[in-house]
Structure 1
Amino acid sequence: MIDLHCHILPDVDDGAKHVTESLEMARKAVEEGITAIVATPHHKHEKYENESNFVIHKVNALQEAIDNEGIPLQIVPGQEVRIYGELLEDYDCHRVIGLNNSRYVLIEFPSNHVPRYSEQLLYEMQTKGITPVIAHPERNSEIMQHPDILYKFVKKGAITQVTAGSLTGRFGKKIQKFSLDLIEARLAHIVASDAHNVKTRGFYVKDAVNVIQQEFGTEAVYYFQENAEYVFRNESIYIEQPERIKRKKFLGIF
């Protein structure tokens, strides 16, 4: 199993604080059945700047520490890029990279809204051969209230990544239900951990697989596992025809 979104690099963002914690996460990942992780530190976040060369350096150092401990886990570089206007220019200058240096770039929106320029930027990314991967849309309050925003992005070629902990209820029942709604409407293409540590923001991948198995069957489990492998290898994923989610506006929860 491949985890495409994880904050395992030490001392770069709000994930692992030091290499000891990174190693704890690596051991836990192996327990969860994960064989490879794309390290995706925050980039262009309010607090964090992690350009690609720095990420690659940190990945190489962590891989060496993991190998020295005999942990059977591969770490490769990526970023979780907070959407911003100059993203394409920085991609052309190799400051922004895709997941495992692929054409798939992990994009994060602010938690409470979707910037108005997002549609145009996602379109421009695709004209350059980049596939935007929208991180954890199920936790964005504007998308929860207006899921047609996400439908339009997917309809136009973006793909999405739902967090394992969202499916298991770690972020609350409303987010859990919305995550299941996204899968049912074929608006979810990847499930990843977005793990930050082993205590409060863990992997929960096995539990998420069980939820998907119970709700949607074995074929859906294979779909998400295979998509992660395709992205990891920079191959095309299979995208099913999305459907709209009819959504009543949530009142009093944000």
Structure 2
Amino acid sequence: MVLVDIHCHILPGIDDGSKDWKTSLKLAQDAVDDTVTHALLTPHHLNGRYTNHKQDVIELTEQFEERLKENNIPLTVFPSQEVRLSGDLISALDNDDILFCDEDGTYMLLEFPSENVPTYAKNTIFEIKKRGITPIIVHPERNSGILRKPEILQELIEQGCFVQITASSYMGTFGKEIEDLSKRFIEAGQCACFASDAHDLPKRDYEYSEALEKLTKEFGQEYTDLFTDNARRIINGDNVNMPWQPLKKKKKFWIF
């Protein structure tokens, strides 16, 4: 079985994911143990703390491939980036300093600041889409602004964005509120796939296969097949299927 992780931080020494090669190889083995076969290596880019230029990520990924072979770790890896929404994003695109999820530049991982969705998000997404690129919004369930007002995500989906939810969010690792919102997004079809978003940090382990098992129990094998198929489609640059609908209103319980 092919299981694709479109978002993880296991390249060494370039962001908050892995501090050295030993850690990176351990994380790669953790991915394989979690049944992941292919992974996009997605260090942070343009987030105010980390700037990981396209060519640097490509070169480090090539070194990683060699080390994986030397250590007999059967993980196929590809260079990519988790790109922060910022004022520098469009110029980075135009200067060919952005890595995509696929060779043809169809899909790009797009991250918002953790506390909100900036007011200029829609304009930037419009500019990205104008260049023939589809943003995949990463872990919206962990964004404070979206937690307060989940309907914000629908507005971005209506612009043509896809959505990736962190497997650990759905597993409850980040708390009940984030778990519940993840489930609401999934129930409404407002999620294309899971990803690990693995780091060498507390609560950032691989829980991908567990999340898929839980998804099967709660929503059926059809959902699980859709998520795993979409992840493959993303790295191949193929059409993604995300049949979404508006979120159901949360039930209110009145106490008299």
Calculate the TM-score normalised by the size of structure 2. Answer: 0.93
In 1, Cα distance between equivalents of 2:27 and 2:35: 13
**Aligned-residue offset at 1:214:** 1.2
**Aligned-residue offset at 1:199:** 5.6
Which residue of structure 1 aligns with residue 254 of structure 2?
none
Runs of 4+ in 1 over 4 A off after TM superposition: none
CA RMSD between the two structures:
1.6
In 1, Cα distance between equivalents of 2:222 and 2:95: 40
Q: Give the counterpart of 1:26 among 7, 25, 28.
A: 28
| Counterpart mapping for 1:28-43 below 5 A | 28-43=30-45
Overall identity of the aligned pairs, in %: 37
**Aligned-residue offset at 1:247:** 5.5
Q: SS at the partner of 2:216?
A: helix
Which residue of structure 2 aligns with residue 77 of structure 1?
79
- Assess if the C-alpha contact under 8 Å between 1:155 and 1:242 holds in 2: no
The count of aligned residue pairs is 249
Q: SS at the partner of 1:239?
A: coil
In 1, Cα distance between equivalents of 2:47 and 2:7: 16
List alignment gaps of at least 5 residues for structure 1.
Answer: 249-254
Q: Provide closer, same or farther for how the CA distance between residues 180 and 43 of structure 1 changes in structure 2, counting only shifts above 3 A.
A: same
1:190 aligns with 2:193: yes
Q: Provide closer, same or farther for how the CA distance between residues 82 and 198 of structure 1 changes in structure 2, counting only shifts above 3 A.
A: closer
| Counterpart mapping for 1:214-229 below 5 A | 214-229=217-232
1:179 aligns with 2:182: yes
- Assess if the C-alpha contact under 8 Å between 1:163 and 1:191 holds in 2: yes
List alignment gaps of at least 5 residues for structure 2.
Answer: 252-256
In 2, Cα distance between equivalents of 1:121 and 1:236: 22
In 2, Cα distance between equivalents of 1:115 and 1:132: 15
Calculate the TM-score normalised by the size of structure 1. Answer: 0.94
In 2, Cα distance between equivalents of 1:18 and 1:242: 43
- Assess if the C-alpha contact under 8 Å between 1:98 and 1:106 holds in 2: yes
Which residue of structure 1 aligns with residue 117 of structure 2?
114
| Counterpart mapping for 1:1-254 below 5 A | 1-101=3-103, 102-197=105-200, 200-246=203-249
Which residue identity lines up with residue 210 of structure 1 in the other structure? E
Q: SS at the partner of 1:34?
A: coil
